[in-house]
């Protein structure tokens, strides 16, 4: 089975500082994994490399068979169609309603989707994140948690083979965080690989999924699902 | 069994309709909607573009008028009027006419009688009073010689000025250096006009690019998000380019209309003097100038957007 994401000896430097150092990893379809580590460990850099927001200094990044490391800027959209992203700061377009934000992500990746279909699917996605009744609201009319959920709906609406999320529960209360995790598990159950960068020890501990640990840019631990242990190092970070 | 023809939607056609509708919505409707939303940030670009395009249109029309004036002056300067003495015998005039007509440097020769000369003079500002002051007709008959090359006018003048049929006091209309002086003045004006036009063009491009760049810079997050959610480059660029074209087109339309209106007012207000000072400026030429200003506005607006957007696109 081909990996959805594959990092081969990936190094990313900002000037003389190494944000990622010789990282090797692979993520399979339907797999849900957590990316953990202290602040500045390189989690966001790793996610940005997957979404081809940045290029690696060294090594190869393959996303659903596409070489993101060598992709020209004019072909970046090809990778991003394969990746749904939940950004830490949501990145919703302020001039569009929640529904339009979600539908936009669908239609920019596939112009063959009609308005009616886009609206239906956007509404479905919003209902899945518990915001079916707030489709007409603009981002500034929504709370942080609601905006986070719109961002999740936008990331999943096109049913990409890979979903990456940067602190998706950072602005959510505990109950909503669990609802969100249930949603991610459902998405993974349908075959989408899900990679979540988080600091939430409780969620990582209870879900017992694969955990990738980054410390100072190095992938120091790769614990398979069901063997995440006590994660005391994470609680202290 | 009888066949039944079932007519249904051709899926490919439906798909083409959906794609075309989506493209239209993103590029054109989205651009129009954004343009109205961002009118306050676009206003400086719109104002400066309108003013600069209007000035460009007026200077362009003036340049064309100058060029036409130069052509008229060149045509007039290559006509040598050879004035006949009042007592000249017809045979002498005919002989001179033949000599000139056979000269390879001469394009044509025409004879103007004294009465025709008087009529012509009465059409020139200032000369009717001179004609009225005298009881007799003071204007001589002449041979009007159209010389092929303006540089040969001097030689033709030398050839005819001592002829027996020619007036010894005022033999010809030849004024050494007159044409060169007019040419030098017109050349100077043309150079100054072109330099000013180039400067104006530079200012127009700079002001427009900066204004549109500022408008796009204020929406850089929008550009970044569109790219992050996987929008292809043409979809990110398209609405901004159309927005720029709307701004430029509107500025061009206003500037073009004012330019056209000004030219038409000039033509209508003083048709004879206007035609004399701005030859060749007709309604058609004014309309063409307005269309050019409009097209320049469109190009400037969309081009500026395209250039300004480059720095916000991922590399």
**Cβ neighbourhood burial of A218 (10 Å; 0-12, 13-18, 19+):** middle
What pLDDT sits at residue A64?
93
Q: What are the distances in angstroms from CA B217 to CA B22, B32, B221? A: 26, 18, 8
- Give pLDDT tens digits for B251-310: 999 999 999 998 888 777 766 555 556 667 778 888 988 999 999 999 989 998 888 888
Q: Which helix (H) or strand (E) holds B67?
A: helix B39-77
Task: Categorize the per-residue pLDDT at B130 as very low, low, confident or very high, splitting at 50, 70 and 90.
Answer: low
Q: So what's the pLDDT on residue A58? A: 95
Q: In order of start, what are the domains of chain A with their CATH numbers?
A: 1-82+175-237 (3.40.50.300), 93-159 (no CATH)
At residue A153, the pLDDT reads 92
| pLDDT digits 0-9 by tens, B10-60 | 567 777 888 888 888 888 887 888 888 878 877 877 888 898 889 888 888
User: Tens digits of per-residue pLDDT, A168-210?
Assistant: 888 778 888 888 898 899 889 989 999 999 988 888 988 889 9
Q: Name the residue with higher pLDDT: A40 or B212.
A: A40
B116: left (phi over 0), alpha (psi -120 to 50) or beta: alpha
User: Is A215:A41 a contact under the CB 8 Å cutoff?
Assistant: yes
Residue B189 buriedness (CB in 10 A; 0-12 / 13-18 / 19+): middle
Is the pLDDT assigned to residue A54 strictly greater than 90? yes
Taking Cα atoms as reference points, which of A115, A201, A121 lies closest to residue A159? A121
Residue A78 has pLDDT above 60, yes or no: yes
Higher pLDDT pick, B313 / B125: B313
Contact A93 B225 (CB under 8 A): yes
Pairing of strands A58-63, A5-14: antiparallel
- Name B218's Cβ contacts closer than 8 Å, sequence gap at least 6: B41
**Three-class SS of residue B140?**
coil
User: Can you tell me the distance from the alpha carbon of B43 to that of B41, in angstroms, rounded to the nearest whole number?
Assistant: 6
CB contact under 8 A, B228 and A87: yes
Question: B312: closest CA among B204, B205, B228?
Answer: B228
* Cα distance between residue A33 and residue A15, in whole Å: 30
Q: Which domains does chain B have, with CATH numbers?
A: 31-72+181-310 (no CATH), 85-166 (3.30.70.3040)
Assign A228 a pLDDT band (cuts: 50, 70, 90): low
Nearest-angstrom CA–CA distance, B39 and A69: 40
Tell me, what's the pLDDT at B145? 92
Q: Do A104 and B19 touch (CB under 8 A)?
A: no
Q: How far is CA A217 from CA A9, A38, A45, B99, in A?
A: 12, 10, 9, 102
- Average pLDDT of the residues in A106-124: 87
- pLDDT at residue number B189: 78
Coil vs helix vs strand at B164 = coil
Q: In what order do the strands lie in the sheet with A58-63?
A: A17-27, A5-14, A58-63, A66-67
Short-list A193, A161, A171, A195, CA closest to A78: A161
Return the pLDDT at B42.
78
Q: Does B225 touch chain A (CB under 8 A)?
A: yes
How much is the CA Rg of chain B, to the nearest whole Å?
Answer: 32
- The overall average pLDDT reported for chain B is 82
What's the pLDDT at B275? 58
Residues counted in chain B: 315
Which residues 6+ apart lie within 8 Å of A127 measured at CB?
none
User: Which of B21, B37, B315 lies at the smallest CB-CB distance from A95?
Assistant: B37
Asked if the Cβ–Cβ distance from B225 to A115 is below 8 Å, we say no
pLDDT over 70 percentage in chain A: 95
Q: How far is CA B113 from CA B82, B139, B143, B190, in A?
A: 12, 9, 9, 38
Query: With contact defined as beta carbons under 8 Å apart, do A92 and A138 qualify?
Result: no
Neighbour tally for B194: CB within 10 Å:
12
- Per-residue confidence (pLDDT) for residue B105, from 0 to 100: 92
Query: Strand, coil or helix: what is B81?
Result: strand
Which of the two residues, B173 and B179, has the higher pLDDT score? B173
Instruction: Taking residues B180-201, report their average pLDDT.
Output: 80
Banded model confidence at residue A92, pLDDT cuts 50, 70, 90:
very high
pLDDT for res A237: 46
Phi/psi of residue A221, nearest 5 degrees: -150, 140
Q: Do A91 and B235 touch (CB under 8 A)?
A: no
pLDDT at B293: 92
| Closest CB from B19, B230, B313 relative to A81 | B230
Digit-coded pLDDT (tens) for A116-173: 889 999 999 999 888 999 999 999 999 888 898 899 999 999 889 999 999 888 877 8
- Smallest Cα distance from B43 to chain A, Å: 20
Q: Does residue A228 or residue B303 have the better pLDDT? A: B303
Q: Which ranges of A7-114 does DSSP label H, i.e. alpha helix?
A: 43-50, 76-80, 98-109
Tell me the sheet residues that pair with B112: B142
pLDDT at A7 over 90: yes
């Amino acid at each position: 089975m081909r990996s959805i994401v594959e990092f081969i000896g990936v190094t990313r430097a900002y000037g003389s500082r190494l944000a990622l150092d010789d990282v090797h990893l692979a993520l399979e379809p339907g797999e849900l994994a957590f990316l953990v580590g202290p602040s500045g460990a390189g989690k966001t850099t790793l996610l940005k490399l997957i979404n081809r927001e940045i290029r690696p200094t060294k090594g190869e990044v393959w996303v659903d068979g596409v070489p993101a490391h060598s992709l020209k800027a004019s072909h970046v959209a090809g990778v991003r169609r394969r990746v749904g992203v939940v950004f830490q700061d949501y990145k919703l377009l302020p001039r569009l309603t929640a529904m339009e934000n979600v539908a936009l992500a669908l239609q920019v990746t596939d112009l063959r989707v009609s308005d009616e279909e886009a609206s239906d699917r956007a509404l479905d996605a919003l209902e899945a994140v518990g915001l079916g009744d707030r489709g007409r609201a603009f981002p500034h009319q929504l709370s942080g948690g609601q905006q986070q959920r719109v961002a999740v709906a936008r990331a999943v609406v096109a049913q990409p083979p890979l979903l990456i999320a940067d602190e998706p529960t950072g602005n959510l209360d505990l109950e909503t965080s669990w609802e969100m995790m249930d949603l991610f598990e459902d998405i993974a159950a349908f075959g989408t690989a899900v990679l979540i960068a988080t600091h939430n020890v409780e969620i990582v501990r209870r879900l017992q999924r694969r955990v990738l640990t980054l410390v100072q840019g190095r992938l120091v631990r790769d614990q398979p699902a069901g063997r995440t242990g006590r994660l005391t190092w994470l609680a202290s970070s | 069994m009888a066949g039944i023809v079932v007519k249904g939607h051709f899926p490919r056609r439906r798909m083409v309709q959906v794609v075309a509708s989506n493209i239209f919505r993103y590029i054109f409707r989205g651009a129009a909607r954004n343009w109205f939303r961002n009118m306050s940030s676009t206003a400086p670009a719109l104002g400066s573009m309108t003013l600069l395009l209007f000035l460009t249109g007026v200077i362009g029309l003036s340049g064309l008028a100058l060029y036409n004036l130069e052509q008229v002056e060149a045509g007039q300067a290559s006509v040598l009027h050879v004035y006949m003495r009042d007592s000249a015998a017809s045979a002498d005039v005919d002989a001179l006419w033949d000599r000139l007509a056979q000269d390879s440097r001469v394009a044509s020769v025409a004879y103007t009688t004294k009465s025709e000369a008087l009529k012509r003079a009465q059409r020139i500002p200032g000369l009717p009073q001179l004609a009225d002051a005298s009881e007799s007709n003071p204007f001589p008959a002449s041979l009007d010689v159209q010389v092929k090359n303006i540089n040969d006018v001097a030689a033709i003048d030398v050839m005819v000025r001592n002829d027996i049929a020619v007036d010894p006091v005022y033999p010809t209309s030849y004024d050494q250096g007159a044409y060169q002086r007019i040419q030098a003045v017109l050349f100077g004006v043309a150079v100054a006009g072109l330099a000013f036009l180039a400067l104006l063009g530079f200012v127009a491009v700079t002001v427009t690019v900066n204004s549109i760049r500022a408008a796009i810079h204020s929406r850089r997050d929008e550009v970044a998000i569109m790219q992050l959610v996987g929008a292809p480059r043409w979809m990110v660029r398209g609405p901004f380019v159309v927005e720029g074209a709307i701004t430029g087109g509107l500025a061009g339309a206003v500037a073009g209309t004012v330019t056209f209106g000004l030219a038409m007012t000039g033509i209508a207000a003083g048709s004879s003097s206007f035609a004399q000072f701005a030859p060749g400026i007709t309604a058609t030429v004014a309309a063409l100038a307005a269309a050019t200003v409009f097209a320049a506005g469109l190009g400037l607006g969309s081009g500026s957007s395209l250039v300004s957007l480059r720095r916000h696109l991922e590399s």
